[in-house]
């Protein structure tokens, strides 16, 4: 073993019901993708021989390998962050540093605790990947290389999340910095793959981006890039070694800097003010400084809503949030540069429908959609942390004995979160407006896009506050909130990918997708309405995945912008109201704060 911290996590993890639920849920999700693809394939052409099964095996491998990597990549990063932030929020990390535990035992114990929860789902789906060579089209070397790449990426992301969490004091800072670094990492790998980075050959893209490495490995006839004697397996060994080396370096760096970063230097001593008195001093004598009060500044006027005042007028989430904004603006600048390059040449107006060619999704959408989803993830992360930070500090219990109403508390939190993440709210709108100004978007579609973005921003903010209020454990609240956002958008992305592969069979896709929609609705209900059920939340849970799928399908079919806009605004607006109304009621507000603090 690597220390008592890891031993405790290893002994208590199987006692938690969510340990088995999460493993079963991810396995069921992968199985649903396989069943859906099989139904679609059987509906298009008859499967009569081994060649048809081999084509199906290649198709499934190209779907599952990137999907498993992307989902588990963010799960591992979040697990690494929450394993450390959980201790910091309750101020128990300082107590661990006061014991006889060494730096390596603390760091390796926390990294191991994060890896236990993330490797849980990875090990559950490993047999499915090894069953694909039985269908044909996929070799055992490809299956083993895929698992090797995924495992090394999980370790690197978990170590990265834990390192950032040891460094930063606030949970939102750790989540945001980790997510930004992963997004920049993947974006840089894609830029290298397209030859947009001078001095770096596209051949080295698999060594930089794990997504590129897995996709290169998932090709039907992959070419040997490295270690020619090992064949296809050599394409996975060298990237895995690179990722593992970086993870080892980050781990050693965390061990070295653990007691330098903690306790946090953000806890500065309070400055004192002095007053000078010359009433009884002789003439010419220097005035003496006497302590006046133990405060750093004069009191400031507070608004009628003190919750909103604190969110807007103070550094409630730490001063280092400025670096998060700068990194986000850097990422948005790269996306904006890519959008400018996708503008139509030689036309003065918006892109016509024929300009897209045979692709179902234009290059501008492929660039703008990830930035939009990433913005929504950051807003949601800050919203859920705005509640969990209050609970961990014991401030929510004090609010119950004040005159603050649930209405002012919830609306103050929503407005404060949107103000604190104003860059994530405004930058996508600015990029869309710039794209319209240069003729890449019509005015009507710009209005639809801006209004839909605002509705989605309010929805993810309310979702984070809702999860923060109904879950007493910070890790459960953060995981449920971010997991819901990942399900809604990554699930939709997977549906879009299947559509791209079966682009001529929209009529046959609805029936197979009903299985995924039903399972997704059940998962949403268990996440959002299990502890605080209501008819509105039940209706939202089961309709939201279907309406999201309908909106994406309508978008791909073209010339149905009003249908897409109406579906998005009505569905997500109703979901926001379904969570908002119980949150502003006296009973729900009081009960959520006094729910017993039970171990997960």
Would residue 270 count as lying in a domain?
no
- CA 28 to CA 265: how far, in whole Å? 45
Least confident stretch, 29-38, 423-432, 512-521: 512-521
Domain boundary among the residues 261, 280, 299 is at: 261
The backbone torsions φ and ψ at residue 32, rounded to the nearest 5 degrees and listed phi first, read: -65, -40
Domain of residue 38, residue span: 4-261
Give me the helices (H) in 360-442, please: 363-392, 395-399, 406-420, 422-437
Please say whether the beta carbons of 454 and 571 come within 8 A: no
Place of tokens 């996440």: 527
- 195 and 319 part of one domain: no
* 429-440 residues labelled b (16+ CB within 10 A) or e (exposed): eebbeebbeeeb
Taking 70 as the threshold, does the pLDDT of residue 324 lie above it?
Answer: yes
Would residue 162 count as lying in a domain?
yes
Q: What is the mean pLDDT of residues 511-539?
A: 74
In a 3-state reduction of DSSP, which class is residue 199? coil
- 252 and 326 part of one domain: no
Confidence of residue 153 (pLDDT cuts 50, 70, 90): very high
Place of tokens 């209501």: 534
pLDDT at position 356 is 35
Would residue 508 count as lying in a domain?
yes
- CA 461 to CA 417: how far, in whole Å? 7
- 466 and 586 part of one domain: yes
- 54 and 123 part of one domain: yes
Q: Residue by residue, what is the 3-state secondary structure of 255-319?
A: HHHHHHHCCCCCCCCCCCEEEEECCCCCCCCCCEEEEEECCCCCCCCCCCCHHHHHHHHCCCCCC
Q: Which range, 119-133, 356-370, 469-483, 505-519, has the best average confidence (pLDDT)?
A: 119-133
How many CB atoms sit inside 10 A of residue 533's CB?
13
What phi-psi label fits residue 198: left (phi over 0), alpha (psi between -120 and 50 degrees) or beta? beta
DSSP 135: T
- 254 and 335 part of one domain: no
DSSP string, 12-39: HGGGSHHHHHHHHHHHHHHHHHHHHHHH
pLDDT at position 304 is 81
Q: Which range, 21-35, 150-164, 298-312, 487-501, has the best average confidence (pLDDT)?
A: 150-164
Please say whether the beta carbons of 480 and 467 come within 8 A: yes
Taking 80 as the threshold, does the pLDDT of residue 557 lie above it?
Answer: no
pLDDT at position 89 is 77
Chain-wide mean pLDDT for the chain?
78
The model's pLDDT over 502-515, given as tens digits with 9 standing for 90+, comes to 555 555 556 666 66
Q: Report the run of H or E that residue 538 belongs to, with start and end.
A: helix 535-557
- 336 and 481 part of one domain: yes
Residue 523: is it exposed, middle or buried by C-beta count within 10 angstroms (0-12/13-18/19+)?
buried
Structural domain total, the chain: 2
Place of tokens 């890039």: 225
- CA 166 to CA 1: how far, in whole Å? 22
Dig out the tokens for 43 from the structure. 């509906």
- Strand positions, DSSP E, 395-518: none
pLDDT at position 161 is 92
331: nearest Cα among 197, 429, 186? 186
Residue 475: is it exposed, middle or buried by C-beta count within 10 angstroms (0-12/13-18/19+)?
buried
pLDDT at position 71 is 85
Would residue 599 count as lying in a domain?
no
Domain boundary among the residues 261, 292, 324 is at: 261
- 330 and 440 part of one domain: yes
Q: What is the mean pLDDT of residues 97-103?
A: 88
pLDDT at position 265 is 58
Taking 90 as the threshold, does the pLDDT of residue 189 lie above it?
Answer: no
Q: What is the mean pLDDT of residues 540-551?
A: 81
Would residue 349 count as lying in a domain?
no
435: nearest Cα among 563, 334, 338, 360? 338
Would residue 68 count as lying in a domain?
yes
Is the dihedral angle over the CA atoms 386, 387, 393, 397 positive or is it negative? positive
Dig out the tokens for 511 from the structure. 């029936």
Residue 4: is it exposed, middle or buried by C-beta count within 10 angstroms (0-12/13-18/19+)?
middle
Please say whether the beta carbons of 405 and 306 come within 8 A: no
DSSP string, 82-123: HHHHHHHHTT-HHHHHTSS--HHHHHHHHHHHHHHHHHHHHH
Q: What percent of the chain has pLDDT over 70?
A: 79
- CA 24 to CA 40: how far, in whole Å? 24
Taking 90 as the threshold, does the pLDDT of residue 426 lie above it?
Answer: yes
Taking 70 as the threshold, does the pLDDT of residue 337 lie above it?
Answer: yes
More confident residue, 38 or 382: 382
User: For the chain, first and last CA: distance in Å?
Assistant: 23
More confident residue, 553 or 30: 30
Instruction: State the pTM of this model.
Output: 0.79
- 482 and 373 part of one domain: yes
- 187 and 317 part of one domain: no
559: nearest Cα among 351, 258, 411? 351
pLDDT at position 266 is 54
The model's pLDDT over 198-249, given as tens digits with 9 standing for 90+, comes to 888 888 888 888 988 888 888 877 666 666 666 677 788 888 999 999 999 9
pLDDT at position 505 is 54
Enumerate the β-bridge partners of residue 273. 293
More confident residue, 341 or 98: 98
DSSP 232: G
The model's pLDDT over 270-315, given as tens digits with 9 standing for 90+, comes to 444 444 444 444 555 544 445 444 445 566 777 788 888 888 888 7
- CA 238 to CA 208: how far, in whole Å? 11
- 24 and 135 part of one domain: yes
Would residue 43 count as lying in a domain?
yes
Q: Which range, 319-328, 335-344, 358-367, 428-437, has the best average confidence (pLDDT)?
A: 428-437
Would residue 394 count as lying in a domain?
yes
pLDDT at position 596 is 44
Q: Which range, 35-44, 139-148, 477-486, has the best average confidence (pLDDT)?
A: 139-148
Residue 372: is it exposed, middle or buried by C-beta count within 10 angstroms (0-12/13-18/19+)?
buried
Q: What is the mean pLDDT of residues 524-532?
A: 75
- CA 213 to CA 207: how far, in whole Å? 7
- 17 and 158 part of one domain: yes
- 453 and 517 part of one domain: yes
Domain boundary among the residues 261, 289, 304 is at: 261
Please say whether the beta carbons of 420 and 380 come within 8 A: no
DSSP string, 454-493: HHHHHHHHHHHHHHHHH-SSHHHHHHHHHHHHHHHHHHHH
- CA 544 to CA 385: how far, in whole Å? 24
pLDDT at position 59 is 84
């Amino acid at each position: 073993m690597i220390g008592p911290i890891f031993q405790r996590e290893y002994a208590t993890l199987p006692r938690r019901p969510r340990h088995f639920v999460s493993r079963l849920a991810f396995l069921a999700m992968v199985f649903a993708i396989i069943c859906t693809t099989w139904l679609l394939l059987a509906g298009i052409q008859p499967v009569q021989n081994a060649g048809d099964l081999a084509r199906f095996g290649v198709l499934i491998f190209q779907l599952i390998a990137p999907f498993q990597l992307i989902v588990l990549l963010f799960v591992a990063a979040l697990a690494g962050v929450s394993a450390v932030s959980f201790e910091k929020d309750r101020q128990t990390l300082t107590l661990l540093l006061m014991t006889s535990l060494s730096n390596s035992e603390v760091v390796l114990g926390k990294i191991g605790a994060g890896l236990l929860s993330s490797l849980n789902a990875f090990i559950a789906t490993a047999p499915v990947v090894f069953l694909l060579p039985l269908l044909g089209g996929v070799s055992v070397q490809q299956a083993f290389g895929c698992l090797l790449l995924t495992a090394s990426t999980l370790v690197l992301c978990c170590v990265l999340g834990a390192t950032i969490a040891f460094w930063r004091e606030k949970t939102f800072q750790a989540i945001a910095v980790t997510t930004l670094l992963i997004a920049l990492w993947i974006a840089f790998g894609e830029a290298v793959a397209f030859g947009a980075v001078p001095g770096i050959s596209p051949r080295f893209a698999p060594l930089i981006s794990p997504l590129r490495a897995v996709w290169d490995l998932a090709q039907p006839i992959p070419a040997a890039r490295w270690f020619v004697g090992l064949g296809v397996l050599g394409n996975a060994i060298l990237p895995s070694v690179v990722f593992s080396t970086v993870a080892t370096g980050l781990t050693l760096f965390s061990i070295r800097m653990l007691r330098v970063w903690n306790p946090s230097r953000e806890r500065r001593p309070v400055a004192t003010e002095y007053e000078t008195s010359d009433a009884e001093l002789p003439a010419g004598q220097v005035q003496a400084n006497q302590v006046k009060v133990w405060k750093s500044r004069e009191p400031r006027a507070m608004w009628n809503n003190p919750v909103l005042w604190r969110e807007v007028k103070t550094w409630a989430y730490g001063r280092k949030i400025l670096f998060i904004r700068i990194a986000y603006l850097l990422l948005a600048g790269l996306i904006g540069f890519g959008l400018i390059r996708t503008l139509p040449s030689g036309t003065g107006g918006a892109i016509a429908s024929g300009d897209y060619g045979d692709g179902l999704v234009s290059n501008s959408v492929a660039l703008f959609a990830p930035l939009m989803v990433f913005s929504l993830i950051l807003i949601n992360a800050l919203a859920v942390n705005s509640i969990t930070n209050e609970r961990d500090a014991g401030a929510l219990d004090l609010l119950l004995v004040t005159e603050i109403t649930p209405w002012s508390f919830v609306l103050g939190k929503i407005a404060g979160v949107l103000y604190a993440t104003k860059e994530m709210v405004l930058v996508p709108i600015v990029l869309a407006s710039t794209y319209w100004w240069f003729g890449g978007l019509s005015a009507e579609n710009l209005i639809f896009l801006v209004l839909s973005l605002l509705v989605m921003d309010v929805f993810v903010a309310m979702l984070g506050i809702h999860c923060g209020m109904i879950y007493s454990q910070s890790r459960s609240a953060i995981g449920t909130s971010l997991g819901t956002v990942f399900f809604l958008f990554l699930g939709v992305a997977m549906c879009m990918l299947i559509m791209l592969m079966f682009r001529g069979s929209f009529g046959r896709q609805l029936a197979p997708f009903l299985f995924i929609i039903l399972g997704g609705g059940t998962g949403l209900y268990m996440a959002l309405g299990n502890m605080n059920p209501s008819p509105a939340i039940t209706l939202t849970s089961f309709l939201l995945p279907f309406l999201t799928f309908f909106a994406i399908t309508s978008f791909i079919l073209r010339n149905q912008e009003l249908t897409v806009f109406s579906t998005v605004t009505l569905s997500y607006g109703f979901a926001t109201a379904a969570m908002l109304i119980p949150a502003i009621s006296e009973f729900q507000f009081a009960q959520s704060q006094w729910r017993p603090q039970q171990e997960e």
